Amino acid sequence: MATSNPSVFLLTVNGQIEGANFPEYDDLYCKYCFVYGHDWAPTTGLEEGITQITRKNSQSSHRLIWNFPLETTFKSTNPSGWPQLVVSVYGPDAFGNDVVRGYGATHVPFTPGQHTRTIPMFVPEPTWRLQKFTGWLLGRRPEYTDPKVVAQGEGREVTRVRSQGFVTVSFHIMTKDMKKMGYDIGPSSPANTASVTSGWSTEEQQ
């Protein structure tokens, strides 16, 4: 295992899809999948998954909780095409039809450690008002041909979307052999990152 000259580096993504915040909707479930470049390959774990349906707390909270674990390890030779997590949330509409409630994507964090990402979600808008109405009536809203579309930039200019809701995902990232292969992903300790992001070249203390 401990080869001195690795030919791939590993990225382990643990974490969970914690929950979502969709103020208007309930009974939602979430699908997730990873989108990655040509040079990436999953070694263990699930690439795709679907959560249970969750309801909001009847008393107070507006949050939907899934706590759906993610555990995937990727191997790769090239940081280009770094994995992205694509989530799409579905749920029944007023007539009980299963419709999409949001698409969203985020890159898996680069740096090892714990990260929490709040992904803003959006849905494609119908082209015409009338379609909006009929879509609502018939329970067939516009959907992406492939949820993975949201992880790519090409061709998005032809769509129009509306934002709704957020999904919160927490990640625990581990990498192996990245530095050995010459990919320095920045300061190792999170304490240093704070000073890097401060924007000032100097810091003062009294």
Q: Binding residues for other proteins, per CB under 8 A?
A: 5, 7-9, 38-41, 76-78, 80, 124, 126-128, 130-131, 134-135, 138, 140, 142-146, 148-149, 154-159, 181, 200-206
H/E stretch holding 190 reads: helix 190-197
Contact 88, 64 (CB under 8 A): no
* Cβ distance to other proteins smaller for residue 60 or 202: 202
Distance CA 92, CA 9 (A): 42
30, 59, 89 from 101: Cα distances, Å: 9, 23, 5
CB of 99: closest distance to other proteins in angstroms?
Answer: 12
* Cβ distance to other proteins smaller for residue 84 or 168: 84
HSE-up of residue 26 (Cα within 13 Å, Cβ side):
7
CB of 57: closest distance to other proteins in angstroms?
Answer: 33
* Cβ distance to other proteins smaller for residue 22 or 40: 40
CB of 182: closest distance to other proteins in angstroms?
Answer: 9
CB of 197: closest distance to other proteins in angstroms?
Answer: 13
Contact 64, 20 (CB under 8 A): yes
CB of 27: closest distance to other proteins in angstroms?
Answer: 22
Q: How buried is residue 55: exposed, middle or buried, by Cβ count under 10 Å (0-12/13-18/19+)?
A: exposed
Under DSSP, the state recorded for 16 is E
* Cβ distance to other proteins smaller for residue 27 or 177: 177
* Cβ distance to other proteins smaller for residue 148 or 172: 148
For residue 173, give the nearest of 61, 72, 32, 75 by alpha carbon. 72
* Cβ distance to other proteins smaller for residue 42 or 115: 42
CB of 60: closest distance to other proteins in angstroms?
Answer: 36
Distance CA 182, CA 22 (A): 42
